[in-house]
Amino acid sequence: MLGRLRSDLRYTGKGYATQLIQFIIEQLKKMPEIKWIGANTQRHNFSALRVLEKVQLPPIKALHASTLVNSDGLDHTPGPIWTPVESLEEKRKWISQF
């Protein structure tokens, strides 16, 4: 899952996002443990939708987001769900694995 891909405005619309996503897809296809490749974006994000179309990731279904307003009725254990990676050294270590 990639987060938002943002570029300096001088470089938008030049196909870089498409090239990046296509490269990632090609690398993933070489990994037998990868069984599915997909993506999602908002309906109004026409640039991202165009990238997904160009890399031939067909639309499957619409997803709808919702916000949890009151969690009192949920059966859960409060607490952090992940450990934040904050230092540049830690981030580089994680990225180098991929």
Report how far Cα 51 is from the mean position of its chain's Cα atoms. 13
Q: Return the higher-pLDDT residue of 6 and 25.
A: 25
Residues with Cβ within 8 Å of 29's Cβ and at least 6 positions away in sequence, in order, are 37
Predicted confidence at residue 31, as pLDDT, reads 95
Show me where the domains of the chain are located: 1-61
Predicted confidence at residue 53, as pLDDT, reads 93
Lowest mean pLDDT among 14-18, 63-67, 78-82: 78-82
pLDDT digits (tens, 9 = 90+) for 14-39: 888 899 999 999 999 999 999 999 88
Longest dimension (CA), the chain: 49
Predicted confidence at residue 32, as pLDDT, reads 95
Residue 47 has phi, psi (to 5 degrees) of -65, -45
Distance (Å) of CA 68 to CA 43, 65, 72, 74: 22, 10, 10, 10
Going by C-alpha positions, the residue among 55, 52, 28 that lies closest to residue 41 is 52
Rounded average pLDDT over 58-65:
78
Predicted confidence at residue 3, as pLDDT, reads 58
Predicted confidence at residue 5, as pLDDT, reads 66
Distance (Å) of CA 79 to CA 75, 76, 83: 13, 9, 11
